[in-house]
Amino acid sequence: MSGTSASLQPPADAAKPVRHPDAPAPGELLGAHYGQCFGCGGEQPHGLHLAARAGEGVSITAEFTVRPEHQGAPGLAHGGILATALDETLGSLNWLLRTIAVTGRLETDFVRPVPVGTTLHLEAEVTAVAGRKIYSTATGRVGGPDGPVAVRADALFIEVKVEHFVNHGREEEIQAAMSDPDQLRRARAFEVNP
Ligand SMILES: CCCCCCCC/C=C\CCCCCCCC(=O)SCCNC(=O)CCNC(=O)[C@H](O)C(C)(C)COP(=O)(O)OP(=O)(O)OC[C@H]1O[C@@H](n2cnc3c(N)ncnc32)[C@H](O)[C@@H]1OP(=O)(O)O
């Protein structure tokens, strides 16, 4: 079962997603959107260090290797960690649309257990856009990019302005992010070129 809730079904007048002309080329690594991000940040020691690459159209591939600190049951990945990997991969898609968006809804199927040491091969694509609502879907496979599906998810992301982070984030991290030239450039780019 996947994508069962009505709010994950795009409305009849939803549009096909449009890849932004300045989106990274297929095969290009996206890099982290924030160094301290638990999903993708390189400066986050406990994080997933998920590495995402642009695919064709509005699609992404990503890899994440389960480490001992990601366990739930002995020797197995925690389900919340696997949901995080899916969430991060799905969130990366919005970079190809040049849209800032946050997860509104994430529906996850856990199909088979994922042992520590396993590399999860993720792929995700945007399926439809309706106003601020971005509909997307993802799978995570084990044993290789064509291996069996271990997890999958359907999601609804909601477009937000950069003020979402400025208004809601804790002051010290916002200040630090704003004084990081690369982060600021990115935030500015979003504001002038939405
Ligand atoms: C200077 C600083 C620099 C900063 C630079 C930043 C760049 C960063 C770049 C990229 C960051 C991405 C980070 C990736 C991390 C991975 C992704 C995550 O984990 S994100 C974290 C988890 N998610 C949240 O924390 C959302 C918390 N929720 C909210 O803030 C609000 O609820 C929000 C924004 C989602 C919606 O609130 P509303 O007031 O704006 O809009 P309303 O009217 O409620 O919803 C709009 C439409 O969406 C539907 N909707 C909203 N939530 C829904 C839901 N949960 N299920 C179904 N539909 C929902 C509504 O029914 C409505 O639909 P109708 O237009 O009426 O058709």
Tens digits of pLDDT across the chain (194 residues): 455 789 999 999 999 999 999 999 999 999 999 999 999 999 999 899 999 999 999 999 999 999 999 999 999 999 999 999 999 999 999 999 999 999 999 999 999 999 999 999 999 999 999 999 999 999 999 999 999 999 999 999 999 999 999 999 999 999 988 888 877 677 666 665 54
| Ligand 1 lined by 160 (C-beta under 6 Å) | yes
Output the DSSP codes for 162-186. Answer: THHHHHHS-HHHHHHHHHSHHHHHH
Amino acid at 132: R
Domain 15-160, CATH number (from 3.30.360.10, 3.10.129.10, 3.40.50.620, 3.30.30.60) = 3.10.129.10
Task: Return d(Cα 50, Cα 42) in angstroms, integer.
Answer: 9
| Ligand 1 lined by 73 (C-beta under 6 Å) | no
Please report the pLDDT score of residue 192 as a whole number.
Answer: 57
In ligand 1, the atom with minimum distance to the C-alpha of 178 is: 1
Nearest CA to ligand 1 atom 50: 104
Please report the pLDDT score of residue 133 as a whole number.
Answer: 98
| Ligand 1 lined by 5 (C-beta under 6 Å) | no
Task: Return d(Cα 130, Cα 13) in angstroms, integer.
Answer: 7
- Is 158 exposed, middle or buried (CB count within 10 Å of its CB: 0-12, 13-18, 19+)? middle
Select from 158, 168, 178 the residue to mutate for testing ligand 1; criterion: most ligand atoms less than 8 Å from CB.
158
Name the residue ranges covered by the structural domains of the chain.
Answer: 15-160, 162-194
> Which of 64, 130, 60 has the alpha carbon at shortest distance from 95?
60
Please report the pLDDT score of residue 168 as a whole number.
Answer: 97
Please report the pLDDT score of residue 182 as a whole number.
Answer: 79
* ipTM for the complex shown: 0.97
| Ligand 1 lined by 165 (C-beta under 6 Å) | yes
Select from 48, 89, 96, 102 the residue to mutate for testing ligand 1; criterion: most ligand atoms less than 8 Å from CB.
102
Please report the pLDDT score of residue 193 as a whole number.
Answer: 56
Nearest CA to ligand 1 atom 1: 178
Q: What element of type H or E holds 60?
A: strand 59-65
Please report the pLDDT score of residue 190 as a whole number.
Answer: 64
Please report the pLDDT score of residue 1 as a whole number.
Answer: 47
